[in-house]
Chains A and B, each alone.
Chain A
Amino acid sequence: MNNQKYHWKSEYTTVLLLNAFYILVFYVLMEIFT
């Protein structure tokens, strides 16, 4: 069972990129309002 292959899907890239984008948006908001 430990020899399983891991199948990367485009959805995972979307999750990670979108969350990176959220952090970017938070950074911009912080820069504008503080």
Chain B
Amino acid sequence: MQQLDWIILIGTLLFIVSYGAYKTRGSKNVDDYIKGGSEAKWWTIGLSVMATQASAITFLSTPGQAFHSGMGFVQFYFGLPIAMVVICLVFIPIYHRLKVYTAYEYLETRFDLKTRSLAAILFLIQRGLAAGITIFAPAIILSAVLGWDLITLNIIIGVLVIIYTVSGGTKAVSVTQKQQMAVIFGGMFVAFYLIVSYLPEDISFVEALKIAGASGKMDILDFSFNFENRYTVWSGIIGGSFLALSYFGTDQSQVQRYLSGKSVKEMQLGLVFNGLLKVPMQFFILLVGVMVFVFYQFNASPLNFNPAANNAVKSSVYADEYKKLEDKQLEIEKQKYIASLKYGNELMNAELIENIQQINSLDLENRAEAKELIKKADASVETNDKDYVFIHFILHNLPRGLIGLLLAVILSAAMSSTASELNALASTTAIDLYKRNVTSEKTDDHYVKVSKWFTLIWGLIAISVACVANLFDNLIQLVNIIGSIFYGNVLGIFLLAFFIKYVKSNAVFTAAIITQIIVIIGWWYDWMPYLWLNLFGCALVMSIAILIQTLTTKKEII
């Protein structure tokens, strides 16, 4: 990091924070603070929805995912456009007609207060923890790579977000997200251009794609019905639709983005915008990772991209063994260079493809051996280095100034997601719990102040979670598990509300409680991989509610 990088990084972040706080200062009423005055245009909504979903991990992890496993991850997003259409058709007209501030408010209109409060509490538990991880996940990677203090980094990211989110509420979140998206896309396009320009002179972009294809990185689509393959066209369309429907339709951190729209049409167009751009955007981020892969066919790369892993093994008794693997890697890289250059300059040649694949197998074996040694040296260190690939490339190859810009991209993404989360957590606490259960006879000014206090409190909770996250093994996975435990149940409640008129409040509430207990038991006894708990919870709450309603209706008739 040079002085110019620091100037660009600090300048970009401070400008966004100050502009957001200044532009949106002094919200007078709840509508201003929670719905941004209901005046957002479709492009603001669309960018805001995309910025909320794209966290820092999207820009750190996704290129690394493509580097190791190719472009197949794009299939995960195939269901998202379908979910956008369903939300535009069903969810938005109802939310708008009832003029709700939160998604859970609708549940009281349809069922009763206790169902609304239950859904709101489930959201707060899950999203409150997730907000901490949104800060922690990039902070742990940046601190490992740059040597920055983890706790300080957590506090800096958290405080910057708190400043403008407390001050301007929803409007500040969307105003800053527009600038953050400009920084994010600007930085990613520049990075992509530079990676391609760093390839050897006689290797064009098309030839680079050929080299990636020979190494299996261009296997974009998988039409098989093999459940062991995590990403297939079918799992993307079916599972992806289901996940996107619960996230965009019932998670307040997303619902609040489109509720700020000027009209139903603007809200719908905002989600249409997301449905049109999401797949190409993810494709582009993955393509950046594939180009980084091609770049490292012609340039030396570390055996493991996580510096902490390399340091751990090099300072252990396994240092000599690791050195031998590094020497072997140098030989493999020489072979890679020659084979890739030859293949890039020739027509498709089966013999050359086989040669590249053999070298890749050697490369993978060598890296796997290196991981074994690292594990022996220090079992606690992270050997899966996919999150470190892109940041390693940035720090070791980009010119002065651009390193600062790309770090601004990563921190902007972290801030944009966290801001939406804090904003939604505060709105749900203020509207669904405080206003509805504690008090309802206060002025608008009072609720604005209360919302600001809740934003601050949730911000401090998120920073605290981020600061203790390092003490737990696999905390990110734990948060995903907690999400899967609750998400299915909440989506099931909403689907019952929208589509099964026959089911009434007591049946839903009882079913939701029973479902939550069963899902927790199912998770505890490991009945299924945790991602399937989403579908299980949703199906279970709907079935139990219909059953209870049927039984109680029959009893009443008798």
Chain A interface (Cβ < 8 Å from any Cβ of B): 1-2, 4, 6-9, 11-12, 14-16, 18-19, 22-23, 26-27, 29-30, 32-34
Contacts and interface: CB of A to CB of B under 8 A. Distances in A.
Given A1-B94, A22-B280, A15 B275 contact: yes
B81 A30 contact: no
List of 8 A-B pairs having minimum Cβ-Cβ separation, nearest first: A33-B213, A2-B501, A15-B275, A33-B218, A26-B220, A19-B81, A34-B213, A12-B85
Given A6-B90, A8-B89, A15-B85, A34 B218 contact: yes
Contacts of A8: 89
Contact of A2 (B71, B81, B499): B499
A4 B98 CA distance: 13
B347 to A, nearest CB: 13
A15 B272 contact: yes
B82 interface: yes
Interface of B: 71, 74, 78, 81-82, 84-85, 88-90, 93-94, 97-98, 109-110, 209-210, 212-214, 216, 218-221, 233, 268-269, 272, 275-276, 279-280, 283, 498-499, 501
Nearest to B77: A19
A29 B269 CA distance: 30
Contacts, number: 72
Contact of B276 (A4, A18, A32): A18
B233 A23 contact: yes
B269 A22 contact: no
Contact of B216 (A9, A15, A18, A34): A34
Given A2-B501, A9-B268, 10 more contacts: A1-B94, A11-B269, A12-B272, A15-B85, A22-B280, A27-B221, A30-B218, A33-B213, A33-B218, A34-B219
Contacts of A9: 88, 268
Given A15-B81, A22-B280, A33 B90 contact: no
B85 A16 contact: yes
B94 A15 contact: no
Nearest to B265: A9
Nearest to B89: A6
Q: Output the residue of A4, A11, A30 with the most chain B CB within 10 A.
A: A11
Contacts of B212: 33
A7 B89 contact: yes
Contacts of B216: 34
Contacts of B272: 11-12, 14-15
Nearest to A8: B89
B78 A23 contact: yes
B266 to A, nearest CB: 12
Contacts of A33: 209-210, 212-213, 218
A16 B241 CA distance: 13
B283 to A, nearest CB: 8
Nearest to B215: A34
B213 to A, nearest CB: 3
A10 B11 CA distance: 43
A1 B109 contact: yes
Nearest to A30: B220
Nearest to B71: A26
A19 B94 contact: no
Q: In the complex, which of the residues A6, A12, A22, A30 has the most CB atoms of chain B within 10 Å of its own CB atom?
A: A12
A1 B90 CA distance: 11
B110 A30 contact: no
Contacts of A12: 85, 88-89, 272
B78 A29 contact: no
Nearest to A2: B501
Most B-side CB within 10 Å, residue of A7, A8, A19, A29: A19
A2 B275 contact: no
A4 B94 contact: yes
A19 to B, nearest CB: 4
A17 B272 CA distance: 12
A14 to B, nearest CB: 8
Contacts of A4: 93-94
Contacts of B109: 1
Contacts of B81: 15-16, 19
B69 to A, nearest CB: 14
